[in-house]
Amino acid sequence: MSKLTHIDETGAAHMVDVGDKSVTSRRAVAETIVVMQPETMQLILDDKLPKGDVLAAVRLAGIMAAKKTSDLIPLCHPLAITSVKIDISPLSASEMRIEAKVKVSGQTGVEMEALTAASVAALTLYDMAKAVDKGMVISSTRLLLKDGGKSGLFEAENNIKATGK
């Protein structure tokens, strides 16, 4: 196992100095699943919830969250993100998949931005639909793909859908 980069030799947390790293093209893809009642899914897909267009709100929330990640995660660097894409698709009659794709040309990766985008998008879906289904479950948030930088390519096992492009 490699050394934790956010912990110094005394055990104190610190922000990693990326100043000497090369600027490279980097991308990350994350997903999360929201499980709900089939009736809730249908209301979302038919745009029949009283709060308005759920899927539009979810996309915007994910994009905004990616841009604000360094404000939320204490040791995360602020990044000039070049692209955020939020894809939302039903997996079944009761499961919605949210995928966040984030790109940057920079000195550090965008894994946290992709994970944050997927998470906040899922929370927004919950918020938009909680009036009809308080029992929704947000689960399986994970990194699917990371590329760029010194460590190169990472792809999660059982990752069939994500292309990261």
Residues forming the active site: 127
Q: Structure tokens of 2?
A: 């490699």
Q: Which amino acid is at 54?
A: V
- Rounded distance between C-alpha atoms, residue 49 and residue 52, angstroms: 6
- Rounded distance between C-alpha atoms, residue 35 and residue 135, angstroms: 9
Q: Structure tokens of 116?
A: 């944050």
Instruction: Tell me how far the alpha carbon of residue 20 is from its chain's centroid.
Output: 27
The terminus-to-terminus CA distance of the chain in angstroms comes to 30
Q: Structure tokens of 84?
A: 């955020």
